[in-house]
Amino acid sequence: MTKYTLTNGKTVTKPFNKIWIIVGSVVLLLFLFSRLIPYDASFIKLGELRIIIVKLFTPKGNRTWNDYFSYIFTSLIEPLKETLNMSFAGTLLGSLMAVPLAVLSAKNIVKLPIIYIPARTIMNLFRTIPAMILALIAVFFVGTGILSGIIAITLFTFGIMSKMLYEVIETIDMSPVEALESTGAKKVESLRYAVMPQVLPVFISYLIYIFEINVRSSTILGYVGAGGIGTVIKDNILYNYDRVGASIILMFVVILVVQLISSLVRSKLQ
Amino acid sequence: MNRAEEALKRKPKRWVMNLIFFVAMIVAIVFSFSGSKINWSRFRSIGHSLRVMLAGFADLQWDFFFGTGIFQFKEGVVYLTLVTLAIAFIGTFIGAVLAIPFGFLASQNIVGKHVARIGEAILVIIRVFPEIILALILVKGFGMNALTGVLTIGLHSIGMLGKLFAEAIDNMDKSPLEALDAVGANIWQKIRYGVIPQVAADISSITLYRLDINVRSATVLGIIGAGGLGASLILAAESWSWNILGTILLAIVVMVLVVDVISSYLRGKLV
Amino acid sequence: MIKFVDVSKTYPNGVQALKNVNLEIHDGEFVGIIGLSGAGKSTLLRSINKMISITSGQLYIDDVEISSIKGAELRLLRRSIGMIFQSFNLVKRMSVFNNVLTGRVAYHPTFKTVFGLFPKEDKLMALESLDTMGILEKAFTRADQLSGGQQQRVALARALTQRPKLILADEPVASLDPITTVQVMDDFHRINKNFGITVVANMHHVDLALKYATRIIGIKDGEVVYDGPSAHISDDTLVSIYGRSLRHDEVLGE
């Protein structure tokens, strides 16, 4: 705290700025956490980094550039289809499953804590488990392949979509619901005519956004056996870096296109 | 009556389009499944699998959890969870610090339309690059340890954080900048006194939200050797040791929930 | 006919909004309810279609005691009563036509309404109501594209499409400018005269209530302190309802 005395004798005290508490705690946490991260100059092999990048993005051994790119358009097409299929089916199924849960979690629609508290608990449980772990569990139950990918993406989407959607439902304009109730409409009918028109455009925009996330994370799902491009990357990571590099280039382009389409459609919806 | 009937003819017919849309969706979903070679023998044993999983969950390994008994503390789930948190926290911090200049570079308010386009493009490229692939590359240069995790999360976070920071800067009130122009401030002074006080809360809130996401990522990145819980997780998964998996899963759920609660509490305070 | 017998309403927070109200409103009347804000006008109005449940007394609509009805019976009652709100309560993103059509929802089984399946007569009914309100040409525009006055007419068309015998209006013109206010009040007058629909309206502007309503009910602290024809109301009576002389915002002035 600093005290200032003006020329006319009045004093003003500048209060303690809370920002220093925040800065202090961040610095302290950084210090404590950094002790858990092993660091040794011998870890760092920037030369290796350069070599791996060259290996990823040039043909291996006696393969030609032609081989490098034709691999993308022949062998990678099927895995790419798998990746997109499982992202699409999982996003759509998970989002549809999320709708009832989101409605049951919304305090303004369901006024009973006995319903919305358990609903939110289910939602949070699914939301905390990373998609990769859902995929691991799915692989255990149904074996490797895109079905476990679909299951993992469905459950992951179910978790985040229900959370995002219920937040939207809780902020809608409730006055049309009142109007519908005054005409003698049932609860379902108020939902259909007063809530749905307000929520639908946001729902579709979220659907596209989550699809984008899912295409990106499907890479890692393949890594634990859920099919698609991720599986190709995992299978080749030890010996065929050029195949991995080609997969990376393909994923990069696909995600870029998905992201561009997604932001285009979403900006149209607003 | 006539007027109403005439008007009804003018009604746009949307149901045809809607029907086509729904049928297309259903066909697409069915098609998506058709590619999955369903392993029926696994399906038949789902009941058995479930029993195995639940039996594992009922037999959580507390020595392994706390790193006591036959386990070293540094092998325990608690320690690994702290390492995972450390990776996420430091990674997010690095990402946020690096994202601030990118945020300014992609903000039309600060650098104008044309430069902002370039800034945005850079951020899109960073964002598009899947985290796991980044980790696969970095692991060669920085080794199978937590440092790789920190760097992966730090670099990957720049993409989304930079974009959101730029949006925050673009949405702020521009009138104080005008006032600073009027007192003769230069660009750095304008940023210090006109921009930072306005966007600091938003930037902190966005970063906290990202921390939430990164805690999950930090868990996952471990599976390719980037430190934290992931390595033990994938080892346990390969032998389907559900008692060990369950122990790790418990830690993950608790960690994610705790960070989620703290982060949303702090974000609530910031608004 | 609406009949209040010793009706009281106490909210869970202890506020007593209505105290032993006894009233009879006959078919075809145009009733204006006036009083200070917080006097219980809205509670009185909303108890009629049970948007608010009363805590004691009896309330009869056409000789049916409504304080105990619920479920299908309650929805049937609400179906026969149109309601108009201060902020129109339209679904802003939906077309005017679909908004008006929601007045028919309670007439059909849920499995049909959920898929938006309405018979052609209903669609024509909705369009006719819009024609009655003079906004037929706006039928297929989105509700949020309309001005406030037009939106309130859409709400009136929705109420008319219910084929109600009674319309309740809760501060119907409070969000409108003076010119549209007069137009919308004229619409209420027309509906009351031409269709014989009973209108019960809460009014903030006392002069409007006196001009359009045939009967005035004055409420003060949850009690009916005046009930009589609007033609005979004196300045002294108004002072007794409001506990003071009127402020200029309580008079529209023309």
3-state secondary structure C191-227: HHHHHCCEEEEECCCHHHHHHHCCEEEEEECCEEEEE
Residue B5 touches chain C, beta carbons under 8 Å: yes
pLDDT tens track for C236-246: 888 888 887 77
Residue type present at position B159 = G
Distance, in Å, from the CA atom of C215 to the CA atom of C192, rounded to the nearest integer, reads 13
pLDDT over 70, % of chain B: 97
Which of B132, B208, B254, B269 is the mutation pick for testing A, counting most A CBs within 10 A? Answer: B132
Instruction: With respect to residue A32, please indicate whether it lies within any of the assigned structural domains.
Output: no
**For residue A270, what pLDDT is reported?**
66
Distance, in Å, from the CA atom of A117 to the CA atom of B261, rounded to the nearest integer, reads 16
Distance, in Å, from the CA atom of A211 to the CA atom of A201, rounded to the nearest integer, reads 16
pLDDT tens track for B150-207: 999 999 999 989 999 999 988 888 888 888 888 888 888 888 888 888 888 889 999 9
User: How many residues appear in chain B?
Assistant: 271
List subunits contacting chain B, requiring 3 or more Cβ pairs under 8 Å: A, C
List, in order, residues 6 or more apart from C163 with CB less than 8 Å away. C80, C125
Angle, CA of A265, A267 and A270, to the nearest 5°: 110
Q: Which of B199, B193, B187, B198 is nearest to B103 (CA)?
A: B199
More confident residue, B226 or C168: C168
Within 8 A of B1 by CB-CB distance, chain C residues are 124, 128
Instruction: With respect to residue A123, please indicate whether it lies within any of the assigned structural domains.
Output: yes
Angle, CA of B13, B15 and B16, to the nearest 5°: 85
Q: Give the side-chain half-sphere CA count within 13 A for A230.
A: 29
Angle, CA of A119, A125 and A126, to the nearest 5°: 95
Instruction: With respect to residue A263, please indicate whether it lies within any of the assigned structural domains.
Output: yes
Instruction: With respect to residue A196, please indicate whether it lies within any of the assigned structural domains.
Output: yes
Is C254 in a helix, a strand, or coil?
Answer: coil
For each of the domains in chain B, give its residue range(s) and CATH number, in order of start. 2-40 (no CATH), 62-270 (1.10.3720.10)
Which of C95, C117, C121, C127 is the mutation pick for testing B, counting most B CBs within 10 A? Answer: C127
- In chain C, which residue's Cα lies nearest the Cα of B5? C124
Alpha helix ranges (H) inside chain A: 19-34, 46-56, 65-74, 77-105, 113-128, 131-142, 146-170, 175-182, 187-190, 196-223, 229-236, 241-269
Across the interface, which of C130, C136, C140 has its CB nearest the CB of B11?
C140
pLDDT tens track for C114-130: 888 899 999 999 999 99
**For residue B172, what pLDDT is reported?**
87
Burial class from Cβ neighbours inside 10 Å (0-12, 13-18, 19+) for residue A23 reads exposed
**For residue B27, what pLDDT is reported?**
86
Q: Which residues 34-63 of B are in CB contact (within 8 Å) with A?
A: 35-39, 42-43, 46, 49-50, 53
Q: Which residues 106-125 of C are in CB contact (within 8 Å) with B?
A: 116, 120, 123-124
Residue A197 touches chain C, beta carbons under 8 Å: yes
C90 pLDDT band, cuts 50/70/90, is: very high
Which of B1, B6, B11 is the mutation pick for testing C, counting most C CBs within 10 A? Answer: B11
Across the interface, which of B86, B137, B143 has its CB nearest the CB of A52?
B137
Instruction: With respect to residue A162, please indicate whether it lies within any of the assigned structural domains.
Output: yes
Residue type present at position B105 = L
**For residue B152, what pLDDT is reported?**
94
The CATH number covering residue A240 comes to 1.10.3720.10
pLDDT tens track for A168-224: 999 999 999 999 999 999 999 999 999 999 999 899 989 998 998 899 888 888 888
The end-to-end CA distance of chain B, in Å, is 55
Distance, in Å, from the CA atom of A162 to the CA atom of A119, rounded to the nearest integer, reads 10
Q: Which residues 128-187 of B are in CB contact (within 8 Å) with A?
A: 128-133, 136-138, 140-143, 145-147, 150
Distance, in Å, from the CA atom of B190 to the CA atom of A152, rounded to the nearest integer, reads 48
B35 pLDDT band, cuts 50/70/90, is: low
Residue A265 touches chain B, beta carbons under 8 Å: no
Range of the domain at A170: 65-269
Instruction: With respect to residue A171, please indicate whether it lies within any of the assigned structural domains.
Output: yes
Q: Do A193 and C103 touch (CB under 8 A)?
A: no
pLDDT at C254 over 60: no
Q: Do B260 and A143 touch (CB under 8 A)?
A: no
Asked whether the CA dihedral C113, C115, C119, C123 is positive or negative, the reply is: positive
Q: Do A184 and C76 touch (CB under 8 A)?
A: yes
**For residue C33, what pLDDT is reported?**
94
**For residue B195, what pLDDT is reported?**
87
**For residue B13, what pLDDT is reported?**
77
List subunits contacting chain C, requiring 3 or more Cβ pairs under 8 Å: A, B
| Average pLDDT across chain C, whole number | 90
Residue A223 touches chain C, beta carbons under 8 Å: no
**For residue C236, what pLDDT is reported?**
82
ipTM confidence:
0.88
pLDDT tens track for C7-58: 999 999 988 999 999 999 999 999 999 988 888 999 999 999 999 999 999 9
Q: Which of A121, A89, A119, A92 is nearest to A104 (CA)?
A: A119
pLDDT at B262 over 70: yes
List subunits contacting chain A, requiring 3 or more Cβ pairs under 8 Å: B, C
C201 pLDDT band, cuts 50/70/90, is: very high
**For residue C172, what pLDDT is reported?**
93
pLDDT at B215 over 90: yes
The continuous run of DSSP H or E covering B41 comes out as helix B40-44
Task: Give the residue ranges of chain A where pLDDT is below 50.
Answer: none
Distance, in Å, from the CA atom of A214 to the CA atom of A218, rounded to the nearest integer, reads 6
C124 CA: distance to closest CA in chain B (Å): 6
**For residue A254, what pLDDT is reported?**
92
Instruction: With respect to residue A143, please indicate whether it lies within any of the assigned structural domains.
Output: yes
The DSSP call for residue B71 is: S
B43 pLDDT band, cuts 50/70/90, is: confident
Total count of domains within chain A:
1
Hey, how many other C-beta atoms are within 10 angstroms of the C-beta on A167? 13
Backbone angles phi, psi at C37, to 5 degrees: -70, 140
Distance, in Å, from the CA atom of C75 to the CA atom of C92, rounded to the nearest integer, reads 24
Q: Do B11 and C120 touch (CB under 8 A)?
A: no
